[in-house]
A and B are shown apart, each in its own frame.
Chain A
Amino acid sequence: SQKIEQNSEALNIQEGKTATLTCNYTNYSPAYLQWYRQDPGRGPVFLLLIRENEKEKRKERLKVTFDTTLKQSLFHITASQPADSATYLCALEHSSASKIIFGSGTRLSIRP
């Protein structure tokens, strides 16, 4: 069956360290993968998109990798700050030009 899996356990990181979140998928061949941030009581906000032919994408303190062989994306936040505390969601296209589906999200908590 088709699945998108993210760490279900909350991730607690010391401020200043690098946070790494994982997104694994099975039985999909997405052309791209997206990462969103969601704060409590708010809608998700788009962060980054990485295409299947890109190994890595960066935006400020964010870095995303995409390994289509492993069927995995890693999302890194370097020099983490308490303001980075939120739930992070990965999302991908179900099939070409189709609906976008989400993982269950990983809650990240950065302690001062």
Chain B
Amino acid sequence: DAGVTQSPTHLIKTRGQHVTLRCSPISGHKSVSWYQQVLGQGPQFIFQYYEKEERGRGNFPDRFSARQFPNYSSELNVNALLLGDSALYLCASALPPVANEQFFGPGTRLTVL
């Protein structure tokens, strides 16, 4: 079975632009979480979606938004990009009720110039 997939692998944007990152969970998984990993730090929780509803949000500005589709895939959107948004964005899927056992994708490396 395929693992969690993310696209694109790498992305370069300039300040002020908008970006959309995509994630496909493992087949059968209904929970998707997004994390931001800045170089030299651990992943930081951004959002969690379960059954297409937001179930948790980390300490991120409103420029960050996400949604989950009927097939449980998910998009993370970031508006008005800042240099500090440069990071590896990780998606994780889980099969509730043991939703804390997450499976991570390879991530999308976003560089903001």
- Say if A and B assemble together: no
